[in-house]
Structure 1
């Protein structure tokens, strides 16, 4: 947790006072997405033993997204919101930061075992929800037509998704030899400091008029209501142990950075999206550890 806070704070300070080179955050994100994240997935997935309850990790991420889509469509229609605001609220409240913020938090709170389960929730749950549902929502609310071929290609060519499939095959064959596993562990270890430093570089709070109610609703769903509902679902379905804990914690993560980028690209109220993103990341550093403590 201390490393997480130091890296995040360092990113904020560098962005404000050190005049970092243009494109630094994008360069760090490239390393995290294309090198560190696949290496981490390749290291952890072969150690993961199949559990019939793993479905919970995937379905909860989709339910958080679908719940946000239904809730904010109904609220938006009732309160006369623009289509852009409804799309923004759906993306920001429905998609969680299960990798850049989620991985460091899970490792700090639940160790490597929890992190391995978090990879399943992220790659098979939240990432696919982003690639499929996120693209569809952003296209629909911006008046564009989604292209199914592009959605499918985005999923199957994502480096960490490829690493997930490769890691599962390696695990079935008995795992990595010692030297290969050590290399993957060292590369994967760069994810936490670089990801949080990059988040700090981009962290902005831009409160504007009329944002208080949407901000409270979006974060109320993402940080409180959604994980509470997923906890209830898990208990009713008989899910327990670490799978239940990680499923709830990943559902409780802050809004996703990529969701804010989609809002910016498709003109879905980018100022509101950035306010929800920055506020959500800061609040999640308190709320996610509280969820972890309550789950025991």
Structure 2
């Protein structure tokens, strides 16, 4: 309960700060860098070396790939059928195809499932969401914005992305059964713990609500896919068809139901893929996801 109070408190503080005259709203960029350069690497270095490797790891890792692959098929087919502008199709593929599995996902999973749940959340996020963001999402953004994909730039972005580098280091540590001493582990935990207030404050500072827009229909379609259809498919596949029943599967389903990723919205906007719709996917998707997440949490407990 304390974690949920923390989540909503800093989210609300961020929203309030938007209306304080003179407050530097752009400070969210610094907060994002703190999360990306310090908190996410610390979490990876603490949790991944402790994960017991098995075939079951494929289930949480597969969540983000299912989500993005489904988004590409779903919206590209609809785009062709209804002759949507390419930029609209690209915007929906990216913003509906990538979930906020770290900024929102980590704090929520931490609150619901504790440290054990975080081990699964890291797997959904690191080899899943942000690897896709750094590769296939960039390709989609380049193709649908009519720009030519630059293979060198894609490789460069992946190679120098701090969480990706620490992810590789942490995986190597896991393979060789190596972990840090108690002091370093405590430091990593402390750095990781500051992510929740910082991330939620950043989200609050970035939330935008537009009441007048021509994108309402597409917003509804994008959020329907991300918040309802994807977790429903993951639940059907993992629980009903494959008969998987564990806390890790519950976490994987919950992560699949997270709101659209803020960084994905930024990527779409930077490539000119319907910036207002990209912003609306975040502005309406995050608050709405708190309602749908409670629904999915009830479902996975059955």
Common fold by TM > 0.5: yes
User: What is the aligned partner in structure 1 of residue 192 from structure 2?
Assistant: 188
Q: Paired residue for 1:293, among 286, 298, 302?
A: 298
Q: TM-score, normalised by structure 1?
A: 0.95
Is 1:79 the counterpart of 2:63 in the alignment?
Answer: no
Unaligned runs of 5+ in 1: none
Is 1:47 the counterpart of 2:28 in the alignment?
Answer: no
User: What is the aligned partner in structure 2 of residue 176 from structure 1?
Assistant: 180
Distance 1:206 1:126 in 2: 27
Is 1:244 the counterpart of 2:249 in the alignment?
Answer: yes
Q: TM-score, normalised by structure 2?
A: 0.94
Instruction: Give a deviation string over 1:79-136, Cα, whole Å, max 9, x none.
Output: 2321111111111110111111111111111111111210111010111111111101
CA spacing shift, 1:79–1:207, aligned 2, 3 Å: farther
Is 1:202 the counterpart of 2:237 in the alignment?
Answer: no
CA contact (8 A) 1:53 1:239 kept: no
Is 1:271 the counterpart of 2:276 in the alignment?
Answer: yes
Find runs of 4+ consecutive structure 1 residues off by over 4 angstroms: none
Instruction: Give a deviation string over 1:152-176, Cα, whole Å, max 9, x none.
Output: 2322322112222222333433422
CA contact (8 A) 1:109 1:292 kept: no
Instruction: Give a deviation string over 1:228-276, Cα, whole Å, max 9, x none.
Output: 1011111223433022112211111100111111121111110111111
* CA displacement at 1:18 relative to structure 2: 5.4
Distance 2:183 2:25 in 1: 37
Distance 2:22 2:203 in 1: 16
Is 1:105 the counterpart of 2:108 in the alignment?
Answer: yes
Distance 2:6 2:65 in 1: 30
Instruction: Give a deviation string over 1:181-239, Cα, whole Å, max 9, x none.
Output: 11111111111100010010011011333322111110110000001101111122343
User: What is the aligned partner in structure 2 of residue 15 from structure 1?
Assistant: 18
